[in-house]
Amino acid sequence: MINVKQLVKSYQMGELPVLALRGVDFSIQANEFVAIMGPSGSGKSTLMNIIGCLDKPTSGSYCLNGQEVSQLDDDALSAVRNKEIGFVFQSFHLLPRLSALQNVLLPLRFGEHADDSTDYAQQLLARVGLSERQDHRPNQLSGGQRQRVAIARALVNRPTILLADEPTGALDSKTSVEIMALFTELHQAGQTIILVTHEEEVAAYAQRIIRMRDGDIVSIEQRGEHAA
């Protein structure tokens, strides 16, 4: 599904280039649950942006579902992103004036699945345990409920990859466990998940952990299914 070879990303800081990624190599298969870990400055956010088709590498190859996407122009990259990637962020990014259902429906303005959109969005809200909250606005929901709405929204375009950036970072420990249990359920149902985190207890839910430091992959740890 994902095949990355010799991926390099450099930024210009004054007169000197800064290497955020130093030629990383890895692959991710369909239906895997993979965590990317590392401290600040390790390159994990840069790598996430490239995997999510939000940015392009300076050099190297990124093949997504058989398509080389590393050097696509912005319009083509946006089309791939809207089709293939569902995003879940730490800060939820829900629109405050819209209901839970309306927030879930938002990506379908740009997607390919408008015909059955409302029914499917309601099914997703039921799947994340929020059927009775679909008419509530974000300020009427708890942090965990808002993240569940965000997960439903990320799934509404039927993406091949769910990309989660610190999805429990704004949640308390009990709610974090509930959200990670939901990610586990989604993975067991066949969803490919890539999770970016700095928390060991969150990464422990993944099948593999890719550890990064200073723009390099320092280890890839193979794990079994989460035991919780």
Q: Is the model's pLDDT at 25 over the cut of 90?
A: yes
Q: What's the predicted TM-score (pTM) here?
A: 0.91
Average pLDDT for the chain: 91
For domain 30-57+85-222, the question of CATH label 3.40.50.1110 is answered with no
Query: What is the structure's pLDDT at 227?
Result: 42
Residue spans per domain, the chain = 30-57+85-222
Q: Is the model's pLDDT at 110 over the cut of 60?
A: no
Burial class of residue 144, CB neighbours in 10 A (0-12, 13-18, 19+): buried
Strand partners, 208: 34, 222
Give percent of the chain with pLDDT exceeding 70.
95
Average pLDDT, integer, range 70-76: 90
pLDDT band, residue 228 (cuts 50/70/90): very low
Q: Is the model's pLDDT at 2 over the cut of 90?
A: yes
pLDDT band, residue 112 (cuts 50/70/90): low
Task: Give the 3-state secondary structure of residue 26.
Answer: strand
Torsion (CA) 221, 178, 1, 31 in degrees, nearest 10: 90
Using one digit for the tens of pLDDT, what is the confidence trace for 131-165? 999 999 999 999 999 999 999 999 999 999 999 99
Using one digit for the tens of pLDDT, what is the confidence trace for 37-53? 998 889 999 999 999 99
Using one digit for the tens of pLDDT, what is the confidence trace for 161-189? 999 999 998 899 999 999 999 999 999 99
Determine the Cα–Cα distance for residues 133 and 149; give it in Å rounded to an integer. Answer: 10
